[in-house]
Structure 1
Amino acid sequence: MDRQELGAFLRSRRERLRPQDVGLPSGPRRRTPGLRREEVAVLAHVSTEYYVRLEQGRAPRPSGDVLAGIAGALRLSDAESGHLHVLAGTAPSRTGLHRRDVRPSVLTLLERLPQTAGFVMSAAFEVLAWNDLAAALMEDFAPLTAQDRNLARRAFPGPRQGDARLFGVSDAADLRLSVVMQLHATLARYPTDPEITGLVDDLRATNPDFARLWERRDVQAAPMLTKTFRHPAVGEITVDCDTLTLTDRDQFLVLFTAPPGSPGAEALALLNVLGSQASSYVR
């Protein structure tokens, strides 16, 4: 149970709600944003004292029923409710280190996918494996270090690194928000993994945008169904984006495709011929 993070998460969810969101009168002017602690306690059917102690990180582990009541009171989404259970230690959690070894069958699948750019990403946003078309569309990751292959570090560069290298994607702001949300969930699953904790600590210390978004404690990202790359060799390429979770290793298979006959499909076909040498994003 991560008492401090649990308390901070509850407080952030409480402060985003308005009384009218939960059927309560607005009443007199409020000194703080959101619901009052006692209002949440009433809605969740717990004592105000206990709820206050939860937010302060001083309460014992709540039961599943108590968490369900709090999740309902705070109008949490399914993803937020799941994150709440992870923080409270009432959900199955992974221990130790996140995995970086990719299943051989997945590597084979990457190479056999026709006209599809694909790569495998770890829970810490490191690109672990990729096919030739992904290298042509994005970058040849082979000569890069693990840090340079990390998409979270690319999205939130340090002060001496200049602009992020995000392959010219058109939705960079949405991508950055998604990175922060997913890292919150990842840290809750691997609270003692030094690579995860070090990544979060580095980004919070070196990038003000990351630090600001991190404090919001949002954990549910909108799915990215399409993505447009501004490629240096073939111009804009709009592709469908599908992300599949590889649950056994807590990794993600990201696939970029395009409908047959579309401009995106023609651009991918051209990249397939040009190869990774066509990708020349400036570092």
Structure 2
Amino acid sequence: MDRAQVADFLRSRRGKVTPDDVGLPSTGRRRTPGLRRQEVAILANMSIDYYIRLEQARGPRPSRQILNALARALLLTIDERRHLFHLVGETIGPCSKPNRDVPSGVRHLLTTLVDVPAYVVDAKFDLLACNAAAAALSADDPATRTGVNMIRSLFTSDGAEAFLNTEAGAAFARSQVADLRAAVARYPDDPSIAALAAELVAASRPFATWWAEHDVTSPRTMRRTLRHPEHGTIEVDCQVLLVPERDQRVILYVAEPGTPSAAALREIVSASVSS
């Protein structure tokens, strides 16, 4: 373990995280940018004295539990987390379960996308967050409420059979199956993901067929057809943005400019704002 480099890394990363980033109240002007040592210790659930000794290169070799706590407190990316483990002489093992903590920057992104429906899902396809445009688009659809599993709804909802029988619907659904199979491999210690897959194999013949193909590749742009109770068919491109350090996906619904689908999306969003 290189104590001096660990100390340097912790000090450097602490200076880049603001109280707003981690949900702490601002306490006015600070002499130096970033979090205070006491704040990091509180966020990591460790004693202040222990953390101070780490930053002064006097601390003992941190356990994997301590390293993971520091990574969460300092909002480390996966590369930064790997680097911290390397400095201590550890290797990163797989996470035990999908991360459900949506970064504040991603939440800010959702709010700025006023005209673009956007969702955040974890590796298991549990819906973690959505913006106002997405809520307006799916106001009558319980499958898109926060906390619902979107892949379960995709294969078991009332309109699933009709959707999966279309070329675009089948392509979209197959990509979701591939993503879920990859998640099973990434989280071998989370039985809930394997249980979800087993449930869908039993409940949906298309899911069972595609699951048996063992495909783990998924495109990041797909076409999807949405059904709206007032505006009918809406064609959108699903753009998928990865959040690597959380293993989450931001899904954007974008309609081609100048099309009836684009006009329908504008009307839906505008109506929700004015209501």
Short-chain TM bin: 0.5 to 0.7
Question: Normalized against structure 1, the TM-score is what?
Answer: 0.56
Paired AA for residue 241 in structure 1: C
Within 2, Cα distance between the matches of 1:247 and 1:102? Answer: 12
**2:152 aligns to what?**
153
Alignment of 1:64-143 (within 5 A): 94-139=94-139
Question: Within 2, Cα distance between the matches of 1:111 and 1:172?
Answer: 28
**Residue 256 (structure 1) shift:** 1.4
Is 1:207 paired with 2:204?
A: yes
Partner of 1:164: 160
Change (3 A) 1:219 1:150: same
Amino acid at match of 1:155: L
Preserved CA contact (<8 Å) 2:151 2:176: yes
Tell me how far 1:121 sits from its aligned partner. Answer: 0.9
Deviations 1:84-137 (A, max 9, x none): xxxxxxx97622111112112211210111311101011001111001111122
Normalised TM-score (structure 2)? 0.58
Q: CA deviation at 1:144?
A: 4.6
1:10 maps to what in 2? none
Query: Residue 172 of structure 2 aligns with which residue?
Result: 175
By relative contact order (CA 8 Å, sep 6+), the higher-ranking structure is 1
The percent identity for this pair of structures is 36
- Cα shift at 1:233: 1.1
Structure 1 residue identity aligned to 2:265: L
- CA offset at residue 242 of structure 1? 0.9
Question: In the alignment, residue 117 of structure 1 is paired with which amino acid?
Answer: P
1:115 and 1:96 map into 2 onto residues whose CA distance is 36
What residue in structure 2 maps to residue 246 of structure 1?
243
CA distances 1:166-191 after superposition (whole Å, capped 9, x unpaired): 99996321222112111111000001
Measure the CA separation in 2 of the matches of 1:142 and 1:244: 21
Q: Distance in 2 between matches of 1:162 and 1:179?
A: 18
Structure 2 SS opposite 1:120: strand
Distance 1:215-1:260 versus aligned 2 partners, 3 A rule:
closer
Looking at structure 1, the residues matched to 231 and 159 of structure 2 have their Cα atoms a distance apart, in angstroms, of 22
Q: Alignment length, in residue pairs?
A: 182
Structure-2 separation of matches of 1:178 and 1:261? 28
| One-letter identity of the residue aligned with 1:156 | F
Aligned to 2:190: 193
Letter in 2 for 1:164: A
Give the 3-state SS of the residue equivalent to 2:152 in structure 1. helix
Q: Distance in 2 between matches of 1:210 and 1:168?
A: 10
C-alpha distance in structure 2 between counterparts of 1:242 and 1:169, whole Å: 22
Measured after TM superposition, the shift of residue 222 of structure 1 is 3.9
Rounded to whole Å, the distance in 1 between the matches of 2:208 and 2:263 is: 40
Q: Equivalent residue of 2:212, what SS?
A: helix
**Aligned equivalent of 1:257:** 254
Q: What CA deviation, in whole Å up to 9, does each residue of 1:202-235 have, x standing for no partner?
A: 2223333322221111122344343332211112
Q: In structure 2, how many angstroms separate the alpha carbons of the residues matched to 1:122 and 1:221? A: 15
